[in-house]
Amino acid sequence: MNDHLANPPAPAAPSALRPVRWEARCAVAGLALAGAAWLVRAVWEIRLATAGQPASGPPDQGGGRHRPPTSLEDGYHVVSSLSQGAVVLCALLFLSWLWRVRDNARALSGEQARHSWIWMYLGWVLPLANLWIPRGLVVDIHRRSAPGRPLPSSVNWWWGLWLIGLFSGVGLMSADDTDELIARAYTDGWMLLAADAAIVGAAVAAVLVVRAVTAAQRERMAGTVPE
């Protein structure tokens, strides 16, 4: 008659917990797309460097004058636009995943997030803050999702490569327009390729980050709420 005391019912799952697998898959797909797009961009820069600058000089002739682009240069304009679009889509999907795991981490730990919600946006674009806030968001989510577990090394790889690709001067935050990047491909192609390699590497590492954090949350949730 004491069975109900020996085997008490499992506590109810926090209502705030929500499945995260779909958001994780979308984030991984977005990262793969952005990485592939940037890889194509790097291949095009190699093609430009191999072809060499035309005798008429760079596309931007100075003084507001531009010569007619070659077919390779036209192609690079298309590839550049598509790669930027892929990055925007990737950012939206990654943020959607980050919001979900952030909410789940708060429900699993019963603690408030270290950073308020506004930093989910400002942390990526505000100068100086964007040097550490996004990584801090992921670190805090992992700590509250898997207390006691060491931080996956992929987090540090992702963030280090991201910063290199972001602030290298020829990467994501480059102030140069496409014609100026084409001119660089002719003269200093190795700098563009180094930034491209960092961005592609950051995308690969970010996939591992998404998988690690998602797996940690799903393991915690498996004993609380079914996916």
pLDDT by 10s per residue, the chain, length 227 = 444 444 444 333 444 788 899 999 999 999 999 999 999 999 999 999 999 888 888 887 777 787 888 999 999 999 999 999 999 999 999 999 999 999 999 988 887 778 788 998 898 888 888 889 999 999 999 999 988 899 999 999 999 999 998 877 666 656 678 888 888 889 888 888 998 999 999 999 999 999 999 999 988 887 654 44
pLDDT of residue 58: 82
| pTM of the shown model | 0.85
For residue 164, being part of any structural domain is answered with yes
- Give the closest residue to 103 by CA, choosing from 150, 130, 140, 158: 140
Q: Domain count for the chain, please give it.
A: 1
For residue 206, being part of any structural domain is answered with yes
Residue 172 in contact with residue 220, Cβ under 8 Å? no
pLDDT of residue 111: 77
Distance (Å, rounded) from C-alpha 203 to C-alpha 9?
A: 43
- Give the closest residue to 142 by CA, choosing from 217, 55, 83: 217
CB atoms within 10 A of CB 43: 13
Q: Is 62 strand, coil or helix?
A: strand
Residue 164 in contact with residue 198, Cβ under 8 Å? yes
Distance (Å, rounded) from C-alpha 4 to C-alpha 132?
A: 50
For residue 57, being part of any structural domain is answered with yes
For residue 108, being part of any structural domain is answered with yes
Structural domain harbouring 179: 20-222
Backbone angles phi, psi at 31, to 5 degrees: -65, -40
Tokens of 208: 């591992």
Helix (H) or strand (E) holding 167: helix 153-167
Q: How many whole angstroms from its chain centre is CA 181?
A: 22
- Half-sphere exposure (CA, 13 Å, Cβ side) for 154? 16
For residue 6, being part of any structural domain is answered with no
For residue 10, being part of any structural domain is answered with no
pLDDT of residue 227: 45
For residue 15, being part of any structural domain is answered with no
Q: How many whole angstroms from its chain centre is CA 95?
A: 9
Residue 203 in contact with residue 32, Cβ under 8 Å? yes
- Cβ neighbors of 175 (< 8 A, separation 6 or more) are none
Distance (Å, rounded) from C-alpha 216 to C-alpha 143?
A: 10
For residue 3, being part of any structural domain is answered with no
